[in-house]
Structure 1
């Protein structure tokens, strides 16, 4: 506490809803030492140096709620832990991982703060935190800091560790629909939805994408044969394995022709409008080198290349390509002309965010061959006014979706269906995409599985298309959200037994139930593992399991504080009590109010059509009722308890004990009674536990008469795996 330094005492990735927010965050415990006595307005030159390093901080709203709010706090005086929060957020933004949520709160220990910030990838977030600490210290001490290098390292991490832009776009569309997602690998394999209602995507592939269809699409000759047999116009073509065969095939087909690798993609190795033996043989060498050796020679179709994206049974986007030309000035060579006339376009570059590729005439084999056909090299100096063709194909990034003629769209969707792809990129050569297909010499030249989406998400011109929304509608229809019923149980009183009893009642109702609790991991009535499974990883296993159509989770305060909830939302949330903060002092939870803020997380995540099951005998649990977006069911021993009487009067559902009966009531109407005498002794002695489980099952749609039968049949000892 005497040094002017920033120490990170503890860094935790909270992977699910937590005390800070509904989304994953990194929580850092920050000891600012002697800086506790030196807010930002007491550090000479700090404001100027920090804002010069990170001018984007001017957009941070902070507590003021408007851009510039954070700078106002910085001028007035705020503490370095809070400053670090904003610096880390800005570093992530600069690295291409947009985020905005952060909070910093002082603990009961002087100079120690809890700071949380949103991150979309744990390793990137941790690296940004460390870089932010170094940056803040450099700004305080007036030391140099290599901002470009730091952001560059983070940007590289974002590129290698985060979801690709196409996958991320689909996930964002799912999130906007309220569909949860789980990343299943370090790559782009993502689960949308939970359990039995889940779907999976892998970039632009879905779990409906047939492996057979992918194989057909990769065999260009077979694809053309199938398309032709179904009436889709395709260019006449032939597979060859030598330059001599290529020339012979070209003569049979008729000049001009096009050559491309048999198994190529992205336009690599493609040569167009070939009219003589020399050019055809040179094009064969290029195509063979870019593929597996086999080459397709096919009829050349005049026009521009178009990519139509088919999702399900409709075209959802279309883009046109354009040839690239330069005009000579009599002084500059072709490399210089390309740089000044083509690569100077801000839309061109080498990254995924660039809709058009930068061209390198001295390195691109296709461009070199095109120039040779014109008697030129990359170092030739064209005469003033002379036009030179640099690239015939490529640049398929100019949006024409609204111009597509219905007959062109019909040909594209038919081509996708013939191949068998649910998501396909159909390449056509057309003179005019807005004209009927029969009025022009158009043809389908390829059908591609796992098509690139960026040309439609970030076109060089025209508006971006909602591809993700179309794919989500294809997978889930217009209203499904891929959610199974999820029940969460939180508190410290009999929560394991409550969770097991809820799972049993759902099981006898016909659900395929998964349960993760302290007693173990269950599928139906069978105990799969016997050790404590009330943790994030075990809980995720339930959500991944395609056989599960309902899931029950036991969550204690320690799990919420150290891992976060395993699910983003739930159908039913049970809170038994707010007690036992004494075991959580290591988390700076040292009174019941702080524990309340932890346990309320369970209520915060209840869906609008869901239900909170709350213990009416605990005032702090009762206080959580207004936090619930859905319905509330109170349970308690005394029917005259204030919370129960008021809730009944307002038309709500309640449970209470009356004589030897548990009474289920809706408003002032009794729905059912369950005899405590009929229960096994271990349960009849704990009516609170039974009422919590019964209320949760009732909320989940289990009929009261089936609940009563289920209670009589419940076995305390689990059936272990054989």
Structure 2
């Protein structure tokens, strides 16, 4: 069994609305008796439904999907969706799709499942425990921290999208484009860097808080033991106790809370020095340890933090009690669990010694034994919610403290006897202000009411906004690029900074930032992550959907222009019906409206699969189209062509906004396919809330020239012959261009035609027949054979041309593109139209005509460069 193809579909895709791993397996469907039973011995906790399926399984290739899903679950990163399906025409292959939560775990689980199945099929040993432990480590390595996860989950509940910007670090983008916010744990893009620096300097923090009237303990920063002893003597002159800690450590590192003798001061000073040269010696505030979370100008939560402790039962030793407590599923290593395991280290040993215990002592039943002098959750502490107990004065002090330091999100550490009483009355105070405060104590307190601390941070970041910019997804077989550019141009004319992806590149506010076919996941993501984008228009091609899925969870408006045979036989899509399902992925992710072609049955059928509440707007070149008329009778909105006018219809109200003959993109009304694209663009703009005047201005001012829309019906004059340069690459495109050219001239039509080599033989033959029906003269050339032998693509095109009874005298084959263009022009007279189809660049035309018409070539080159 071999994995011959593997793809991570990171967004909504052909199979599901959630991320999936798609793999194609190859291997014989060999029956191995007892294979399922042996697998279940390794995976005894499998869900009953999957176990029943696996118990009857004797085929290694069919076992891979359920085993992969179970391994993900056991690793702690379960997926929620899976399927296996035969690959058409290839009985030895199987397509497996497994949902996932962590991409790296899914990939590793697939490989582990393959190795496990192969070993058990061969009756060989397989170290299941070691493999599973490795998967768990991978899951831990790529897990989202508890605090970060709480904020991200809260954002999702609000409908705010998120993007993880790094594989392992918890750096996220919340929101899109110009509305985005950055987040790492509880540090946000609004967190002041200077404020973080102040908070990390505990002495400076205390100085500023003291100036602001916030109660803080007295103390000094020292760098020598002698100075520490001197400050300790002064602070404890009245019989008090001191706390010693590093100036800039965190998570309780190096802190000793109660020092009363010179020996204890010395030990505490040396301990603190392990974490920094500067050490704080300060007044010890008696009481409990509290943490107050400030988000923006609000108190989000407050917790009483208890040091890690165990309660005696009169039977077990302290060591045994800790081991029992650490078995609590809520405890784990690091910050990905609700609680952290309690360490039995030198610090715990010292704290126990002060209380007269050792690790092997048995405390009396009911006695609580602390194992740390501080209450940080990162060292095993617990928390109890006390939010409702905070007096108004304490709330105001905490908010003032956060604002004084300059933090938008802050953890205020308070020590006092009773948090329900005003601080000053009980000589309580603020001992620290923390940037990037952990919030798991508030989200998941050991006792008390859980507080949505993540939601409070989201509220502080976004207010009532959902962090989304308008997004329009454009798909279909033909016309996607032109429609995308029409919509984006109108939005820019209205003053919005646009982000655009097309087959020509990625554009942000009119500037190209990437070149090439940019109609997939990565390009769309580059737009959505740009802070300079207010409005996104994303051309979304079949290939991008199948290779990586969509880059967005949903779009505001989806546009599906048409569905016709193209790219069939690739990526598991073999029929036009399957291709329509791929295109429908975009439509099904629309949240506001979907624009559909009323003249295309596949598009019309998509209306039944849309989410509830999503509006359908139809467009049509035929004002009497029955689908359009029924829709309008039912009060729907649509855009159609009537008497050369683009008409916006809202039920019974019909408004003409532009004469199509005045739109440059329509070539004076001759290019009906671009009239259709203009109708679709107008409908998308209507659905997005643009006014009629804004739509008209956008359509009237868009020019489909070499600069703005290359290879999309660009016109050039070559010695009186009109040359249309267009990346036509399927039958529908060639038919539409022939119709346009016929409307432009009473003369002859000459086609210089080709097609990409990754089309099926039948599709190439059909393209040839379509060209034969549309043109008077044909010259066939080759471009992008994509694995086929030289001459084979042209031969199939010629086969289709001859099947259409095209006259041999009017057909010529020139495999070289330059020779083909020259041969085509040689067959033209002034007034004729030559279509150069499936070209890749203007240079092909220039190089073809330069030897015989250098002045014309120079003029065209100048025109193309200056438009």
Q: TM-score, normalised by structure 1?
A: 0.89
> Alpha-carbon deviations, 1:291-318, whole Å to 9, x = none?
x211111111111212222222233233
Which of 441, 445, 452 is equivalent to 2:438? Answer: 452
Aligned to 1:201: 183
Corresponding position of 1:84:
64
**Counterpart of 2:704?**
716
* Aligned counterpart, 2:749: none
Q: 1:315 to 1:396 in 2, by over 3 A?
A: farther
Q: Is the 2:318–2:360 contact (alpha carbons within 8 Å) kept by the matching residues of 1?
A: no
Give the equivalent residue in structure 2 for 1:226: 208
Distance across 2 between alignment mates of 1:153 and 1:209 = 36
Match of 1:564 among 549, 554, 559: 549
Of structures 1 and 2, the one with the larger relative CO (CA 8 A, separation 6+) is 1
Which of 268, 271, 275 is the aligned partner of 1:283?
Answer: 268
Counterpart position of 2:171: 189
> Is contact 1:355–1:397 with CA below 8 Å preserved after alignment?
no
Distance 1:318 1:80 in 2: 54
Whole-angstrom CA distance in 1 between matches of 2:310 and 2:526: 57
Select which of 483, 486, 492 maps to 1:498. 483
Q: How many residues align?
A: 690
Who is 2:500 aligned against? Answer: 515
In structure 2, relative to structure 1, the CA distance for the partners of 1:721 and 1:198 (3 Å cut) is farther
Q: Which string of whole-angstrom CA distances, capped at 9 and with x for unpartnered residues, describes residues 352-393 of structure 1?
A: 4555544555x43x33544565788x6886999999764222
Structure 2, unmatched stretches of 5+, are: 709-864
Q: Secondary structure at the match of 2:570?
A: helix
CA distance in 2, matches of 1:26, 1:683: 48
State yes or no: 1:337 paired with 2:322. Answer: no
CA contact (8 A) 2:152 2:162 kept: yes
Cα 1:375–1:530 change in 2 (3 A) is: closer
Structure 1 window deviating more from structure 2 (679-688 vs 20-29): it is: 679-688
CA contact (8 A) 2:317 2:361 kept: no
8 Å contact from structure 1 (residues 489, 573) kept in 2: yes
Structure 1 residue corresponding to 2:600, chosen from 618, 627, 642: 618
Compared with structure 1, are the counterparts of its residues 396 and 443 closer, same or farther at alpha carbon in structure 2 (3 Å cutoff)?
Answer: farther
Q: Which residue is equivalent to 2:626?
A: 642
Q: Which residue in the other structure is 1:70 paired with?
A: 50
Question: In the alignment, what sits opposite 2:386?
Answer: 401
- Assess, with a 3 A threshold, how the Cα gap between structure 1 residues 645 and 450 changes in structure 2: closer, same or farther: same
Matched residues in 1 for 2:572 and 2:307: separation? 64
- C-alpha separation between the residues in 2 aligned to 1:198 and 1:172? 16
In structure 2, the residue corresponding to 1:623 is in which secondary structure? helix
Higher alpha-carbon deviation: 661-670 or 196-205: 661-670
Secondary structure of 2:661's match?
coil
Q: Closer, same or farther in 2 for the Cα pair 1:390/1:514, shift >3 Å? A: closer
Aligned match for 1:553, one of 523, 538, 545: 538
- The equivalent of 1:102 in structure 2 is 82
Point out the more displaced range, 68-77 or 546-555. 68-77
SS in structure 2 at match of 1:579: coil
Matches of 1:78 and 1:620, distance apart in 2 = 40
Q: Counterpart in 2 of 1:475? A: 461
How far the C-alpha of 1:715 sits from its partner, in A, is 2.0
Partner residue, 2:106: 125
How far apart are the structure 1 equivalents of 2:200 and 2:383? 25
Alpha-carbon contact 1:318-1:400 (below 8 Å) kept: yes
Query: Counterpart of 2:285?
Result: 301
Match of 1:62 in 2: none
- Partner SS for 2:258: strand
Counterparts of 2:199 and 2:677 in 1: how far apart (Å)? Answer: 59
**Contact 2:384–2:448 (8 Å) recurs in 1:** yes
**Given the alignment, which residue of 353, 378, 400 partners 1:414?**
400
Matched ranges for 1:20-99 at <5 A: 20-35=15-30, 38=31, 44-58=33-47, 68-75=48-55, 83-99=63-79
Q: For 1:704, which of 692, 699, 710 is the aligned residue?
A: 692
Distance 2:364 2:590 in 1: 71
- Which of 172, 175, 187 in structure 1 is aligned with 2:156? 175
Give the Cα–Cα distance (whole angstroms) in 2 for the partners of residues 595 and 431 of structure 1.
Answer: 69
**CA distance in 2: counterparts of 1:180 and 1:319, whole angstroms:** 30
- Per the alignment, residue 138 of structure 2 pairs with 157
Alignment partners' CA distance in 1, 2:572 and 2:370: 69
Cα deviation, residue 251, structure 1: 1.8
- Superposed CA offset, 1:621-665 (max 9, x none): 100012223111111111221210110011111122212222211
Partner of 2:648: helix, strand, or coil?
strand
Q: Highest Rg: 1 or 2?
A: 2
- Tell me, in whole angstroms, the C-alpha distance in 2 between the residues paired with 1:110 and 1:456: 55
Q: Give 3-state SS (helix, strand or coil) of 1:265's partner.
A: coil
Say whether residues 1:9 and 2:4 are aligned partners.
Answer: yes
The SS at the match of 1:208 is coil
Give per-residue Cα distances to partners, 1:265-290, cap 9 Å, x unaligned. 11111112211111112211111112
Task: Name the counterpart of 1:531.
Answer: 516
Aligned equivalents of 1:387 and 1:10: distance in 2? 58
What do residues 550-589 of structure 1 show as CA deviations (whole Å, max 9, x unaligned)?
01111111221112122221111111111124x2313121
Residue in 1 aligned with 2:426? Answer: 440
Asked if 1:270 corresponds to 2:232, the answer is no
Aligned to 1:485: 470
Q: Distance in 2 between matches of 1:287 and 1:73?
A: 59
**Corresponding residue number in structure 2 for 1:594:** 578
Instruction: Verify the 8 A CA contact 2:638 2:650 in the aligned structure 1.
Output: yes
- Alpha-carbon distance in structure 1 between the residues aligned to 2:56 and 2:599: 46
1:112: which partner in 2? 93
Are the equivalent residues in 2 in contact too, given 1:320–1:396 (CA < 8 A)? no
Pick from 15, 19, 29: which aligns with 2:14?
Answer: 19
State the distance in 2 between where 1:137 and 1:106 align.
20
Determine the C-alpha separation between the residues in 1 that align with 2:360 and 2:69.
49
1:439 CA drift (Å): 4.3
Map of 1:543 onto structure 2: 528
Q: Say what the alpha-carbon RMSD is for the aligned residues.
A: 2.8
Q: Deviations over 1:35-73 (max 9, x none)?
A: 4xx4xxxx5434433333223322xxxxxxxxx333344
| Contact 1:648/1:667, CA 8 A, preserved across alignment | yes
The reply on whether 1:664 has 2:648 as its aligned counterpart is yes
Q: Identify the residue that residue 750 of structure 2 maps to in structure 1.
A: none
- TM-score norm. by structure 2 comes to 0.75
Higher mean Cα deviation, 120-129 or 548-557? 120-129
- Assess if the C-alpha contact under 8 Å between 2:661 and 2:668 holds in 1: no
SS in 2 for 1:56: coil
Per the alignment, residue 681 of structure 2 pairs with: 693
CA distance in 2: counterparts of 1:85 and 1:101, whole angstroms: 10
Partner of 2:226: 244
Distance 1:116 1:252, change over 3 A: same
> Is the alpha carbon distance of 1:399 and 1:578 closer, same or farther for their aligned partners in structure 2, counting shifts above 3 Å?
same
Deviations 1:213-247 (A, max 9, x none): 11110111111111122222111111111111111
1: distance between equivalents of 2:100 and 2:309? 44
Match of 1:61 in 2: none
In structure 2, distance between residues paired with 1:387 and 1:57:
40
Deviations 1:23-46 (A, max 9, x none): 2211111234224xx4xxxx5434
